[in-house]
Amino acid sequence: MVVESAVGFREQLMTAYYLAGQEEKHHEAGRLPIYYNGANYLTKVCNDTAFLADSEYAKLFNISKKSDPFLVAAAVPSAAVRGVSKYPVLVSTAG
């Protein structure tokens, strides 16, 4: 969803420049980085989930210490979960 949102934002920006008759900016808009708190977000997202490797979730899921922003490795249950149930049950504390 993050990448799709970034692409959608760039497409909207490109369309706005095109409709405004600014052809040179129209082509540049597709290559502009998207900044969040002063950092290129698509680069920053690579490290956004790093804290999970040292969390309690790492005991239940395959949380990688390497960059895995979309938690692909975590989609495969760890040995602690296998055999307990097909899917881990997460209890919500939200009221």
Domain map of the chain by residue range? Answer: 2-41, 49-84
Q: Is 87 exposed, middle or buried (0-12, 13-18, 19+ CB in 10 A)?
A: exposed
Those residues of the chain that have pLDDT short of 50 are none
* Residue 68 · residue 49 · CB < 8 Å: yes
Quote the pLDDT of residue 79: 60
* Residue 41 · residue 5 · CB < 8 Å: no
The DSSP code sequence of 2-19 is HHHHHHHHHHHHHHHHHH
pLDDT in tens, 58-67: 777 777 777 7
43: three-class secondary structure by DSSP? helix
Element (H, E) at 36: strand 35-36
> What global pTM score does this model have?
0.44
Quote the pLDDT of residue 54: 85
CA angle 41, 30, 11 (to 5 degrees): 90
Residue 35's DSSP bridge partners are: 40
Quote the pLDDT of residue 93: 59
